[in-house]
Amino acid sequence: MSRHDAGKPEQPAREAWLGEQGSRPRRRRVVLADSTKKTGKALRTIIELEEQTSVGEKLVRDLIRQQLKSAFGLAFAVLIGMCLLPITFYMVPSIGDLQILGIPIPWLVLGLAPFPILYGVGWVFRRQAERHEKDFVNMVDR
């Protein structure tokens, strides 16, 4: 017996004292089924977005491009629509003679019509932007 074993009980005495609970169970390796297949790509994409790698920058750039395309498309539609109103009143002067409650129709249309139209276009743009963001999140989570 060496001096390092001085404080330890002898092996047979130790086994008798601990009983069968003292024996170590065999180690088992536990692996979750398919956990990497579901989250591996999504986790990698999220990391690329957070670390602003070239792939992450491209994904964000594509999202911004989609939203800009929607914004410019709706702005172009509003611009054309609003520019056509005065042109219509100029080309058809008989519309300018009509009145409602003593107010000429062109004044009502040009003064009041743009507000609900612009509100509606804003609502449509918000829905499109949310759809683009939802599609982006779904793409990242795949």
In this predicted structure, the answer to whether residue 18 has a pLDDT above a threshold of 80 is no
Rg from Cα positions in the chain? 37
Residue 104 pairs in a beta bridge with 99
Q: What confidence category does residue 20 fall into, taking pLDDT thresholds of 50, 70 and 90?
A: low
Average confidence score pLDDT of the chain: 78
Q: Is 1 helix (H, G, I), strand (E, B) or coil?
A: coil
Percent of the chain having pLDDT more than 90?
24
Rounded Cα gap, residues 18 and 6, in angstroms: 19
Record the pTM: 0.58
Q: Which pLDDT score is estimated for 96?
A: 83
Q: Which pLDDT score is estimated for 45?
A: 64
**46-74 tens-digit pLDDT:** 666 666 677 778 888 888 999 999 999 99
H or E stretch covering 71: helix 54-91
What backbone phi and psi angles, to 5 degrees, belong to 36? -80, -25
Residue 99 pairs in a beta bridge with 104
